[in-house]
Chain A
């Protein structure tokens, strides 16, 4: 699907459109998710811009993780459309035709458009190049840090190993691909400062290291959209600040757009370009961090009553 070192390759065509908010990478329209009688998300729409860091915030139980699960294919939404595009943005014009046609993707030039709600979870990552992390870290605890990053490159390596057959024979082409995969893992290990611990089990890393490794592992799948579910949960202020720099570096150097759920308002205000607020499964606000900060509806949702001051750490109870 993609060359082992696709990060710089995708960087070049996307760098022209890096100015935030011009072209959407993800469009969620009229998304609803019902579990039996419970309406978790109700007619929710938002757009994430290419090259933006979009934050999805809201009180506990607002449905943020459900939105993530719908985008990444873990849930099939009850209603709505989730469209993702990369490459030539002209392909957005195909959206209605694609929806009518009932297929998963449309191609125009080097642009591809996907309807994520029609795809199973693993294809959302494999084909549509959406990667995600989890609220409660899901590393392969017993495997080493390096192996975690190699598993993330599974599809590239499977292709290179001729679906195991060529790799089992030990052909040089596979050895080269494996070498490239290791180098890519090393690049990320250097970036997150875990090179020294590459051969230790991932479960033995300190909490902050596990969070960083999970993000690096997601990045090893060469995503165009990285979905982070509470990346700053459990980090101290110092680590949160570092996380912000790390996410900016990812966005700037790899042309990966970021969508994140976050409770820590200082992190949200500092790093995000665009904030969407969800409450009881419905969108109550959408705008720049400054606008959101002063939105009375948001303040009400967070505090339950109208107050002058919003406690920035509120909602961090999970």
Chain B
């Protein structure tokens, strides 16, 4: 029955799809002819010669044309039909979704805690270093940076493109103070955070009167200034060469080395570098969780509400007597402090830092994590960090791709392409980030009405405005 009805329509559809495909083919040809069709190459006589790449051009145009044809004929009508159909919630699916929503955070926390032993037992001592360090520690550093920047960008709505500067301040603070004065990691960790927060305030004072795009540009410049200072202030920072042999953190005074005083010997274990990696994993996990806990706590306090109000409407905030400069500064300083913590951890974990680690690219990645995750959502930011950083690390593992694309193929070179694709896809699919729902910071239903005599609340002579809005 359905076929009969659709037969006369399908010819019209076919014609339309063919026409759309033809138009697309023309556009693609027009665009790719100069970009792909011609290629200039320098020959051995140092002359530029024009090469043509017709097969490649034909292949690309062909792929695009066929894709557009299939889209116009099948996918677009299907999407349309789906949009027409009334949305019915499958109760089973809804129940599973609710259950998932309730359990995802405890499950994720539990998994994060048991991850190192799990990795050890699955891949053994040799393989586990890579899995705990490259995946666990690396991802958690970015989760922490994302959560820190989330305060500035997600809650307070201040687009900060120079966040990596505070990360650098934290890293260099730890590296220099630990090397010069031999202070311990646990003393320098809060100190590095404070120094980064101090720099956050110092930067914040002049620039926080700016808004939106202008603030983004100034923070971007600040990030570059810090990096250039690190490169050029050679007597202190050792310039491009960076700082090496930074003291590693100890387990409450017990170093992780092969000596008799080392951690393994004292614990009666055989020496292995993996103990330090596991220790670092738990340190960064703890730091990240502290960041999350403080963020969650602050959100429910007036300062957190003021941050979010600032994101929504700065002028309204001022009209309510909120000192917006101070409010922005606290957000900036708080975000910078967490970057400082992460930075000093980074320096302690790497043992070597150089300005190379603090390029604009890093800031862009952290901003991307926050935006993709959904501004303000801790879970969303964590998921985005796992996808982004985990995705990059996974690309290192895809050696089989060399069989397909040849031996020169390096999947990590395509990292930015992956970022771009992920960004575009998520922005199309979920324009407000992976998790766009916002938890209210206070619910009236949590505060039951104090027992007040009913007559005193509503005066019958003065009916409350617009009673009609109530069902």
Contacts and interface: CB of A to CB of B under 8 A. Distances in A.
Nearest to B443: A199
B318 A143 contact: no
Interface in A207-224: 208-209, 212, 217-218, 221
A72 B447 CA distance: 34
B314 to A, nearest CB: 10
A178 to B, nearest CB: 8
A133 B21 CA distance: 54
A139 interface: yes
A193 interface: yes
Given A122-B318, A140-B312, A182-B442, A168 B298 contact: yes
A155 B466 contact: no
B263 to A, nearest CB: 35
Given A125-B321, A140-B312, A249-B462, A151 B467 contact: no
Contact of B440 (A146, A167, A212, A239): A146
Contacts of A196: 470
Given A182-B447, A199-B440, A246-B465, A164 B301 contact: yes
B265 interface: no
Contact of A138 (B303, B306, B319, B330): B319
A198 interface: yes
B321 A138 contact: no
A231 to B, nearest CB: 12
A249 to B, nearest CB: 6
B312 A167 contact: no
Contacts of B324: 122
A179 B447 CA distance: 8
A167 B302 CA distance: 9
Nearest to B447: A182
A140 B441 contact: no
A209 B466 contact: yes
A74 interface: yes
Contact of B306 (A124, A154, A185, A209): A154
A157 B319 contact: no
A134 B320 CA distance: 12
Interface string B281-321: 00000000000001001100111011011001101111111
B455 interface: no
B356 to A, nearest CB: 37
A144 B305 contact: no
Contacts of A164: 298, 301-303, 330
Nearest to B294: A168
Nearest to A179: B447
Contacts of B438: 142-143
B89 interface: no
B450 interface: yes
B465 A221 contact: no
A206 B469 contact: yes
A191 interface: yes
Nearest to A206: B469
B316 A138 contact: yes
Interface residues of A, number: 63
Interface residues of B, number: 42
B305 A147 contact: yes
B444 interface: yes
B244 interface: no
Contact of A193 (B303, B319, B457, B464): B464
Most buried by A among B303, B319, B449: B319
Contact of A151 (B297, B306, B466): B306
A298 interface: no
A45 interface: no
Contacts of B302: 150-151, 153-154, 157-158, 161, 164, 167
A134 B316 contact: yes
A10 interface: no
A183 B452 CA distance: 11
A242 B465 contact: yes
Contacts of B294: 168
Interface in B184-218: none
Contacts of A139: 312-313, 316
A154 to B, nearest CB: 5
Contacts of A271: none
Contacts of B318: 74, 121-122, 125
Contacts of A132: 319
B303 A190 contact: no
A167 B442 CA distance: 15
B150 to A, nearest CB: 15
Contacts of A152: 320
A82 interface: no
Nearest to A167: B301
A60 interface: no
Contact of A243 (B303, B443, B450, B465): B465
A245 interface: yes
Contact of A168 (B301, B309, B441, B470): B301
B376 to A, nearest CB: 9
B3 interface: no
Interface string A87-127: 00000000000000000000000000000000001111110
Given A143-B312, A199-B440, A208-B466, A134 B319 contact: yes
Interface in A157-215: 157-158, 161, 163-164, 167-168, 178-179, 182-183, 185-186, 189-196, 198-199, 206, 208-209, 212
A155 B465 contact: no
Contacts of B320: 125, 131, 151-152, 154, 217-218, 221
A146 B309 CA distance: 12
Nearest to B303: A164
Given A198-B444, A249-B462, A131 B319 contact: yes
A281 B403 CA distance: 78
A50 B320 CA distance: 21
A152 B465 CA distance: 21
Given A154-B321, A164-B301, A206-B469, A140 B313 contact: yes
B298 A151 contact: no
B322 A122 contact: yes
Contacts of A140: 308-309, 312-313, 316
Interface string B409-442: 0000000000000000000000000000010111
Given A138-B315, A147-B305, 8 more contacts: A74-B318, A139-B312, A141-B312, A151-B306, A151-B322, A190-B464, A209-B466, A245-B462
Interface of A: 72, 74, 121-126, 131-134, 138-144, 146-147, 150-155, 157-158, 161, 163-164, 167-168, 178-179, 182-183, 185-186, 189-196, 198-199, 206, 208-209, 212, 217-218, 221, 239, 242-243, 245-246, 249
Q: Which 7 A-B pairs have the closest CB atoms?
A: A125-B321, A126-B321, A198-B444, A140-B312, A157-B302, A138-B316, A193-B464
